Amino acid sequence: MEKDIILKVENLSKQYRLGLVGTGTLGHDLNRWWSKIRGKEDPYLKIGESNDRSTKGDSEYVWALKNINFGVERGEVIGIIGKNGAGKSTLLKILSKVTGPTTGEIKTKGRIASLLEVGTGFHPEMTGKENVFLNGAILGMTKKEIQSKLKEIVEFSGCERYIDTPVKRYSSGMTVRLAFAVAAHLDPDILVIDEVLAVGDAEFQKKAIGKMQDISNSDGRTVLFVSHNMAAVKSLCTRAIVLQHGTTVFEGNTNDAVDFYLKSDVANDIAHYVNDNPNEGADILEVSMRDKDNNISGLFGFEDQITLQVKLRVTKDIIEYGSVGFRIKDQNERTVFSSEEDLNNFIEKEGVYFSNIKFPKSVLLPSEYRVIVGYHVPNKQKIRSLFDVVNFRIEETGSMFHKYKGVDFGCVVLDCKWNIKSD
């Protein structure tokens, strides 16, 4: 069967200028204009470096995207993954026509609608219903379409009772629900979604994921889905693209792509968390996964020493009753094990402490795991809970099950006492 390519991205590149845009641009503009008149190439297009934000570059121009090529078939759900600043959002912005590419082009056979952030264009003074119409129209629906879907939208949002009340009286959760409800009832040929799943309470998130699955499964809609949530990408997408420093480094089926992403050095980012905005008093400052040499790592062999390091600030009032704990979850959201320790067993003075928690060796089976860390006074005060704060992965480096493939052996192997005797 012929492939029905609905969207084609060809040699797409996008250049940004770093530093203070504004002063000095007039000079560059004139220079550009002058070379345009003389029929020469834009002098600033030749320069520019790949977009690696952690290393300092020489040029003030960078390529946020460089020569991206891919095609999307009708009905495909494609995941786009990559760490922060890899160019995901830039790509989506170009796809949704919010900004133009510097070179290259995108060809499409269908209308593209984006769900870059829900609730754009909501006006606080207008009622829920008025906002549904306005928001729907902004997203590209006609009044008639919205009218015919109004009942469904209101029902889906669960805000029926408030629908004639100005949105400024809504709780933030309700606003998000209503906004997502409008967006979920869009009918474009290609839907572009960026991280919307981070909104709402758990119940609503479930509903949202379900709705997205419906959209892609039943109506054969083409979806481009950008997310950091690997579980969501895995469950929704059929194919995925990994971006790194503005270029495509992997394209293929979702599981391979997620594997690739986690294995690449990209993964070190997810093994280290720094609290950018800590409380004045007691708080968790950093969480990281460490290997036997105390280097940050998100990747371990089956028999490696794995250490979880939590850096925390302890205040006087916390010392006596406070405790730190963590939970390890597998990919299916099951808790594998947990552990907790009271602070007063170790600490007498206030200050900043590193707690290094060594996991028992050769227990966790090869898979991906996520860590939840909590800092609290039990049953009294929650200081901080960090869900999925770091991830790590255990590679198959010779557990006793490496001979088998595709069988679920659970998450841990326990050192059972076997005894096999003759009758």
Partner 1 sequence: MANKNDNWLYTISPKQKLIDLNLKEVWYYKDLLLLFVKRNVITVYKQTILGPLWYFIQPLFTSVIFTLIFNNMANIPTGEGVPSFLFNLAGITCWNYFKECLTGTSNTFSQNQGLFGKVYFPRVIVPLSVVLTNLVKYGIQILVFIGFYIYYVFFTDKAGGASPKSAIVFIPMLIFFMGILGLGLGMIISSMTTKYRDLKFLISFGVQLLMYGSAVMYPLSFFKKKLPNISWVVEYNPMTTIIEAFRYMTLGVGDYSLPKMLYTALFSLVVFLLGLIIFNKTEKSFIDTI
Residues in contact with partner 1 by CB under 8 A are 2-5, 8, 16, 21-22, 25-26, 29, 71, 93-111, 114, 116-117, 120-121, 123, 125-126, 130, 133-134, 137-143
State the amino acid at position 353 in one-letter form. Answer: Y
CB 268 to partner 1: min, Å: 30
Helical axes 143-157 vs 128-138, angle rounded to 10°: 120
What is d(CA 228, CA 270) in angstroms, rounded to the nearest whole number? Answer: 10
Helical axes 202-218 vs 172-184, angle rounded to 10°: 10
CB 166 to partner 1: min, Å: 8
CB atoms near residue 315 (< 10 Å): 15
CB 121 to partner 1: min, Å: 5
What is d(CA 294, CA 313) in angstroms, rounded to the nearest whole number? Answer: 20
Which is closer to partner 1, CB of 168 or CB of 334? 168
Is residue 317 within 8 A of residue 323, CB to CB? The reply is no
Closest CA to 328 of 289, 354, 378: 289
Closest CA to 268 of 289, 247, 250, 284: 289
CB 164 to partner 1: min, Å: 14
φ, ψ for residue 361 (rounded to 5)? -75, 155
CB 2 to partner 1: min, Å: 4
CB atoms near residue 290 (< 10 Å): 21
Helical axes 172-184 vs 143-157, angle rounded to 10°: 130
CB 136 to partner 1: min, Å: 9
CB 236 to partner 1: min, Å: 22
* Residue count (the chain): 423
CB 249 to partner 1: min, Å: 23
CB 84 to partner 1: min, Å: 18
Which is closer to partner 1, CB of 102 or CB of 216? 102
What is d(CA 404, CA 292) in angstroms, rounded to the nearest whole number? Answer: 28
Q: Which two tokens stand for residue 31?
A: 């220079």
Return the biggest CA–CA distance within the chain. 97
Q: Which two tokens stand for residue 188?
A: 């474009």
Helix H or strand E segment including 174: helix 172-184
What is d(CA 327, CA 339) in angstroms, rounded to the nearest whole number? Answer: 7
State the amino acid at position 372 in one-letter form. Answer: I
